[in-house]
Structure formats: structure tokens, C-alpha cells
A and B are shown apart, each in its own frame.
Chain A
Amino acid sequence: MRAIVSAGALALAIAWAAAAAAPAVAQGAKTSNVRISYEEPSDPNLRPVSERLKQRQVLERLEKFLSPLRLPRELVVRAAQCGGISLPPRAGQPVTLCFEFVDQLEQQAPPPDDVETLGAAFVTRNMAIVGPVVHSLLHDVALAVFEILEIPVWGNIVDGADHVAAFLMLQFGPDVAQKTIFGTALYLNKLDESFDPQNVKPHVLQRYYNILCMAVGHDFVRYAALIPYKRAEEPGDLPFERAARCLSFEPSEYTEYGKVRQAFVALFLEEYVDEVLMKEIQRIDWLKED
């Protein structure tokens, strides 16, 4: 169960980008209009998970990370028992990290002395737990922020939130980014979901490839293990045909990553982010204590 503790803490540590969190978290940061809460689980089996998330100040760190964001109204982020691994995001409703989700990740992750493979990449237990928690929180916060700020999103809004989550995950240092991206990718790749062409959400494999595409677009050398270049394609690889559309030797506005970066700057940074505070937040080494 220690993995859960680490996972929860690390998740936020990573996502919120940066260092010795405790003193900073204690000060709090209310400029974002983000409010957090921990609910008590009625299922006693989930209480250890709940307690550890609380002890590690997971949501406090998220609140701190989001502090540069200027929201005109309150956004509630809570940790709670959901009755399932997730709750469908709804306008005006809290973003919820479900205890069941963290519990499931813990159960599905490879044992501490083993790894899973994804293409030619290795994924450790810690990565398999941390990555999806970070991604899930950032994805759901992105959806809520789209709604609160009336952010224009062309195309599938789930993809838009995935792109924002992946973009943020890729900003916080190459090692942390790699761990969270690989962990998230493994989670999505293992989900068993039948294809329904009418589903409003993209198929989970489409989301998987989109995240790999973002990663490769950001740093194709670091993520080369997922590209079948000069070798046979393996399950989990980003097919070369797609990869060629994702990467660039120079920063390019025509890669998916490049487009998301441009959109992020235009839609968020220029209007809704306190840049001075953001730079302060980015200097924190969130992984230090984890």
C-alpha cells in the first residue's frame, strides 16, 4: 500500500511541477479560486487510501499548482468514494479523484520487483500508478476549466483535455514527464474497451496514440522506444506513419504538440494565468520529498 501513498503524492508533485512542497502548501494559494476537500469513504477498505492521500496533501499540492490560474468562479476538487473508478464530468460539479481509481491502479500495477513493457519501453509499478493519477486529475481539471473560462475547443473535447494534460505533464522535467507519460500510456493501452462509433468519447486506443504523439512531438529521442524505426513494429508502438506526423527535428507548429503549445499560450497564458506566480511555482521541485 505504500505505493499508493507514493503514487498519490508523486502524482501531484509531478503535475504541479516542482519542490519542497510542505512549506509552500501550508501557505496556501487562493488566487485561483480552487477549493479542495477530502471526503470520508464509507467503505472501510478505501480508508487507508483516503488517509494517505490526505496525509500527503495531494489536493493541497494541486491547489498550489493551480494557484497562478485566474478563475472567475470556484472550482472544487475533491477526493471521494465514487462507487466506481470515475464520475462523469458535469458542468459546475466538482472534479473528483475517486479512491476506487487509485485502488484499482494499485491492484493492476506490476509488482515492485517487475516491470511491464510498452513497445520497447519499460514501465515500473510506481510509473503505472502515478501516471494515470496525474493524467486523470489534469484531464478533469482541464474539462472544468474549459467550461468555467469558456475556452474554445474545436473537435472532441475529451481529446482537448487529454492534450492539455499531456502538455502539462511534458513541462515538468524530462524524467518526471517520461514516468507520467509512460504510466498513463500503459494504463490506456491495457483498458479493454469495445469500439462504438457512436460513443461521444474517442476510443481509448485513440487517446493512447494521441498521448504518444504528444510525447514524441515534444522529445522524440526520449520517446524513441515507442517508435518502430529500423525495427519491426511491436504491440504498443506508435506506428511510424503516425509518428512521422507527430515529430519534428525543429519545434514545429505543424506537429500536434506544436499546435497544442500554441493554443495553450493563446488560450490560457495570455489571459488567465498570473505569469509571475507561475514562474514561482515552476521553480519548486515537487519530487524532492517523494
Chain B
Amino acid sequence: MKRLVAAVALSVVAGLTASGSGLAQLAPDIPLNPKVRIRYEPVSESNTTRYGALAKRLQERMVLERFSQVLSPLQLKNDLLVVTAECPDYKYPNSDYRGDLRRLRMCYEMLDFIENGAAVPPNRQPKPPRVFGPYALHPEVTRAEAILGGWVGVFLHEAGHAVFDIQKIPRLGKEEDAAEQIAAFIMLQFGPEVSRIMVKGSYNLWRHMNGFFGPGIMSGVHSMNLQRSHNYLCVGYGGEPSLKDLADRWLSEARKANCPGEFKQAQLAFRKTFVKYIDEDLMKKVKGMTIFRRDDLKL
């Protein structure tokens, strides 16, 4: 599974590469997933300045096509529509999966929020936020980690919802936490370097969310923002011991002690609920896909 997950990262990373030039090439020997339909929705005229370049870059880099390739080993029971789009129906940056439409939507607003908010140091924020706590780019996180890890984390979270729903995977516990946990688990399949980027970026994003928008609400369907950042880090450390330095600095001793167990819980759940839907032959091909390019980290 390592490379499958890595490939997911690649698809996202490629789309986010600010300095990426020219059209991307798809791996020729890997088919698109026949159940995944993709669509790049245009940016409205009024938001062209804000999101136009971002939307164009995603399409040029064939992010969604790559996503479909990466998902090719997954035998989905129904179609999944994956789109990049504006999401004016939200008052705040978001992305979503809707089961009634079987649609995963990555919102330009969220990508913009990550690139121009979570990945920007406090002294260079575009406008003063409402400060509830530490916010903006964490001093130990690079801009590339914040963008790549933040975006992939959101993408994997929504993909988790989609696969849970389409495959009818049983979930006990809160749906949003389940999606978070599968996202964190998948991040760790890339090997230590990629895992580090993903975990740091996700930790940074939810820390920024907390500082910018506040802690969240106890009655909400999501965990609180800081719970989310620590959940990513804890599962990450539990499954990837090379993240110990981060855990030592950012996690309490009590939580650290629980992290291996949290990872094992996710590992067991993955083995018992996901693996049966994977085509091993296609998996081998996906494993051949390139993961990160050097340019991807120059953001």
C-alpha cells in the first residue's frame, strides 16, 4: 500500500506545484479508475483574480486524472465524481463529500486559504486574523510542507468519506473522526520523508484553523481544531517512529504513550475493511509511479 498512498500525494502535489511548468504526463501503463469521473469547474468572473491561476494550474497538472490513476486499484462499487470548484455555499474555507451526489469537491477557497493563510508566516498574513491562539505558518514547518501536507490531508479526508460511503464500510464512532483517521493512516504509507511532510502540513493547518477561526464547537460533527491537529500527529508518530522529534515537542507524554495504540487501531480497521477492495495487480503498477519531484518542494 505504500506506493498507492504515495501516488495520492503525488497527484495532489503535482497540482499544487507553483513553479510547475507545462502539462503533466500521466503514467502510460496505469488506467484511470473507470468509476471515477472528474471535472474542473471554471472560476466565476468575479473571482478570476483570486482563484484563476490556481484553477488553471490544477488542470494543467492533471491533478484529477492522476487521482483517478492512483485510485485505479480500488474497486469502487459506484461512481465517484471528483471536482475542483468554487464553493460559495460555505461561509468559510472548506471542501466536502456529498453522499447523495457521490461527489468529492475540493474547493478553490480551501486551497487558497492554505496557500495564502496556513502557509504564510504571521508577519506576512494578508490581513490580521481574529487571533484565538498561535496561527499562521508554524515556525518549524516549511511553506511547502504546509501547502502539500495541508492540501493532501484535506483531500484524503474527503476521499475517506467517499470510500466509506460508496463501499459501505462500517463505522462506529464519529464519521468525521473516521475520515481523519484514514487520512492520517494513508499519509504514513509513503515512507518517512513523505509522511513527515503530510503530517506536519496537516498539523499546521488545523493549528492555523484554531488560531484563525477559534477552537470549534463541542456540539459539532467535527472534533475541535486542536484535537484534529493532534490526532494527525499522534497517528503519524504511532505508525512512523521517525516522527518522534515532532511528537516530543508537540505532544504531551500522556498522549504520546497512546499513539502506537491509535495507529494499531487504524491499521486493524484498514486491514479488515479496506484491503479486500484492492486489486493487487493494479497496485503493483501504481507502486511504480513517481512520488515527489524536487520542484514540488519549491513552493
* A and B: bona fide binding partners: yes
* Complex-state Cα separation, A159 to B174, whole angstroms: 7
For the complex formed, measure the closest distance between the CB of A243 and the CB atoms of chain B, giving whole angstroms.
9
Q: For chain A, residues 234 to 258, give those with C-beta under 8 angstroms from any C-beta of chain B.
A: 238-239, 241-242, 245, 254, 256
B56-89 residues with Cβ-Cβ distance < 8 A to A are: none
Size class of B's contact patch? 35 or more
Q: Are A159 and B220 in contact (CB under 8 A)?
A: no
Q: Are A206 and B173 in contact (CB under 8 A)?
A: no
Q: Does A62 contact B (CB under 8 A)?
A: no
* Cross-chain contact B218 with A209 (CB below 8 angstroms): yes
- Chain B CB within 8 A of A202 CB: yes
A73 in contact (CB, < 8 A): no
Given contacts A197-B224, A198-B230, A205-B218, contact A153 B173 (CB under 8 A): yes
Among B174, B177, B255, contact of A198 (Cβ-Cβ < 8 Å):
B255
Chain A residues whose CB sits within 8 angstroms of the CB of B258 once the complex forms: 200
| A interface footprint on B122-135 (CB within 8 Å = 1, 0 otherwise) | 00000000000000
Q: For the complex, is A45 an interface residue (Cβ under 8 Å from B)?
A: no
A residues near B169, Cβ cutoff 8 Å: 154
Q: Looking at chain A's contact residues, is the secondary structure mostly helix, strand, loop, or mixed?
A: helix
Residues of B within 8 A of A155 (CB): 171-178, 180-181
A260 to B174, CA, bound (A): 9
Instruction: Note all chain B residues with C-beta closer than 8 A to A159.
Output: 172-174, 177
Q: Does B101 contact A (CB under 8 A)?
A: no
Q: Interface majority SS on B: helix, strand, loop or mixed?
A: helix
Which residues of A are found within 8 Å of B226, using beta-carbon distances? Answer: 197
Size of interface on A: residues with Cβ below 8 Å to B: 38
Is B249's CB within 8 Å of the partner chain A?
no
Interface string of A134-158 (1 = CB under 8 A from B): 0000000000000000111111110
Per-position contact with A for B258-278: 1 when CB-CB < 8 Å, else 0?
A: 100010011011011100000
Tell me whether A151 and B172 are in contact in the complex, defined as CB-CB below 8 angstroms, given that A199-B255, A206-B218, A239-B219 are known contacts: yes
Contact present for A160 and B173 (CB under 8 Å): yes
Q: Is A152's CB under 8 angstroms from B218's CB?
A: no
CB < 8 Å neighbour of B223 from A157, A206, A263: A206
Asked whether B255 lies within 8 Å of A200 as measured between CB atoms, the reply is: yes
Contacts A205-B218, A206-B218, A254-B99 hold; do A153 and B172 have CB atoms under 8 A apart?
yes
- Per the bound structure, the CA–CA distance linking A254 and B215 in Å amounts to 26
Taking CB atoms, residues of chain B closer than 8 Å to A199 are 254-255
Known: A154-B266, A155-B181. A163 touches B219 (CB 8 A): no
User: Are B254 and A202 in contact, CB atoms less than 8 angstroms apart?
Assistant: no
Docked-complex contact A242 and B219, CB < 8 angstroms: yes
Residue of B nearest to A167 (CB): B172
10 contacts across the A-B interface (CB closer than 8 A): A152-B269, A154-B169, A155-B181, A156-B173, A161-B172, A197-B227, A199-B254, A200-B255, A209-B218, A209-B219
